[in-house]
Amino acid sequence: MTVSLAVPDVLVARAQAGDEAALEALFRAFETPVYNLVRRMLRRPEDAEDVVQETFLEVVRSIKQYRGEGYLWGWVRRIASTKALMRIRRDQVRATESLDDEPGKPGMHVGANIDLERAFEHLSETSRAVVWLHDVEGYTHEEIAEQMGKSVSFSKSQLARAHARLRRMLDEGATA
């Protein structure tokens, strides 16, 4: 999803002054791209909704610190991705590269005619986060590694494993 949101400076200034209507306007401008980003990273919709709320509370609290360097969307996106990654870290059991996504394991047969979106949903949250941030949002492995508190090679290997798994699931779906 490509986001090309331009927010007027005057709106940002009003939000920085604590104007509630301006803060709501910022929320309306970014709620869908933020939700889309964190929902792609997180498996559970309710987790994504919570992260949206946490993100905007952080935006409200920190908007005065935004100095206008770069696009506002980039600043908001960084807050959102950090919070989503924090949630993944907080629940390591769910985030751990799942034993359950290995092909051939019970309960993980994804069925025929699986499309890419469904296959993507079967990845672990860590894999989803890396794939989405790198391939769609354009983050570098260095940026992902920094945000995840992991090494660059971790980010690269997660990406490769995730693509190998996607390819396998799509092939299995096509031949089932």
Partner 1 sequence: MMHCTMDDLGALRAGEASVWARRHITECATCQAELERLYQRVSQLKALPALRPPRDRWPAIRATLRAARSRRRRTVGTWTGSLALAATLAAVLLLSPSSGGGNLHAELNQAKQQSATLEDSLQQYDVEGRVLSGRAASVVADLEDRISAIDGTLAQQRFETQEAELVKLWQQRVDLMRELKNARATRARYVGL
Can you give the binding site for partner 1, defined by CB under 8 A? 1-2, 20, 23-24, 27-28, 31-33, 35-36, 39-40, 45, 48-50, 52-54, 56-58, 60-61, 90, 116-117, 120, 131-132, 135-136, 156-157, 159-161, 163-164, 166-167
Residue (61 or 69) nearer to partner 1, CB: 61
- CA nearest neighbour of 123 among 161, 149, 154, 152: 161
Residue (53 or 96) nearer to partner 1, CB: 53
Minimum Å distance from CB 134 to partner 1? 9
Residue (13 or 136) nearer to partner 1, CB: 136
User: 42 to each of 83, 89, 91, 121, 172, how far by Cα in Å?
Assistant: 11, 11, 11, 9, 24
For 123, the token pair is: 């990845």
Minimum Å distance from CB 53 to partner 1? 5
Per-residue exposure over 54-91, b if at least 16 CB sit within 10 Å of its own CB, e if not:
bbbeebeeebeeeeeeeebbebbbebbbbbbbebbeee
| Helix (DSSP H) and strand (DSSP E) numbers for the chain | 9, 0
Minimum Å distance from CB 106 to partner 1? 25
Residue (82 or 157) nearer to partner 1, CB: 157
